[in-house]
Amino acid sequence: MRQSLPEIERQDVEEVTRAIETRWCGDAPRMLIADDDSSVVRLLADHCARMGFDIETASNGTQALTAASRTKPDILVIDVNMPEVDGLSVCAQLLDMNKRPLKMIVMTGGKNPDAAERCEEFGAYYARKGPDFWNDLQTALAEIQPGMAGRILQSNIAKTANPIRRRPRVLLVDDDNDVNRFIASRLEERGIDVAYALSARQALRIAVRDEPVVIVTDYFMPNGDAHYLLTQLRSSEATSNIPVIVLSGRKLGATLIQNLQRQICGRPGAAQVMAKSGDPSPLFAALNSYCGFEPHAIDRTNRPEFALR
C-alpha cells in the first residue's frame, strides 16, 4: 500500500528525532540520586531519566560515596538525613575528592537552617520536600544544565508528578543509645524518619531544626530531665506544640505525672507518660496516632529481644 507524502514526511521526522535523541543520550549528564526512602528514589529516577539524565541511585551515604567515585556524576541529588553517612558529609567529601566540577542539589524534609547555610557554602542548591519540591528541582536543574532547560521545563513534572512527601520524623531522646537505636530500627521499618538526642539540650537544638511530629523522651537524663525539656520546648514558638511522650524505667509518682501533663504557659504538657517495659505495643500505638505508620509495614514489636531499660 502506497504511503501518502505527509505520512512519509512524518515517519522521516520521527526517525530523525529518535536518532538525535539516541545520539544525545549517549552524552547525557550523569546524575546520582541518593535517599534512604526508596519511593523518593524511584520518583526522582523516573522523572529525571525522562528529562534525559543518565541515572545512578544509592540508598545511603556510603553507597553514594562508592557510586560517585565509580561513575563520576555531573549532578548529585541527595537527602540530608541518611544512615551511615549524612548527605552534607557526602557533599563535603566529594568536593574534596573530585577534581572535576560537581553540581549538588540537597533535599531536606523540614526547615533546616544549618543545611541551608552549608549548601550556600558548598554552592549547592537546596530543595525542601513538600508542595514546592518539583518546582524547586526543575528550576535548579534548568540552571545547572542551561542547554537542557527547554526539555526540563517542558517536562511539566511540577504539575504532573506525585508529590514528594515529607516522611514523619520522630525525635528520640535518651542517654542510652541502645534504646534509641532499637526504637529507631522499628520506626524505620514503618516508614518513619528518626533523629536522636542524648540530652535535653541537644534535643532542643534538633527539635528547632528538624520539626519532628512527636518527641519521645526518657524522664531521667543528664543536663536536664523531661520536665526541663518540656519547659524549654514550650517557651519557643517553633516547638511550642510538638507532642511529647515521656518514658521512664523507674516508677513515677502520681503528682510528678500530673505536673508533667500540666499546661506550661498555656501550652500542652506531656501528651502521655508511659513506663518502659518489655511490651512496646502501647508506645507504638501512641506513635501511630501521630505518625500513621506505613500500612504494609511488618509488625515486629513483639520480638522477644525487645526490652526498654
Going from N- to C-terminal start, the domains of the chain cover: 5-160, 169-291
* Cβ neighbours, 10 Å, residue 95: 15
Helix axes 200-210, 226-234, angle to 10 degrees: 30
The pLDDT-based confidence of 76 (bands split at 50, 70, 90) is very high
CATH 3.40.50.2300 assigned to domain 169-291? The reply is: yes
pLDDT digits (tens, 9 = 90+) for 17-54: 443 343 344 479 999 999 988 888 999 999 999 999 99
In whole angstroms, how far apart are CA 237 and each of 36, 208, 262, 267? 31, 9, 18, 10
Tell me, yes or no, if the two domains 5-160 and 169-291 fold the same way. Answer: yes
> Model confidence over 221-275: pLDDT tens digits?
878 899 999 999 999 888 999 999 999 988 899 999 999 999 998 899 999 999 9
The C-alpha atoms of residue 149 and residue 196 are separated, in whole angstroms, by 40
- Mean of pLDDT values over 121-133: 88
* Confidence (pTM): 0.60
Please tell me the predicted confidence (pLDDT) of residue 106.
95
So what's the pLDDT on residue 154? 86
pLDDT at 130 over 70: yes
pLDDT band at 57 (very low <50, low <70, confident <90, very high): very high
CATH superfamily of 5-160: Response regulator (3.40.50.2300)
Provide the pLDDT for residue 186. Answer: 84
CA distance between the termini of the chain: 82
User: Residue for cell digits 511540577?
Assistant: 158
pLDDT for the residue 21:
43
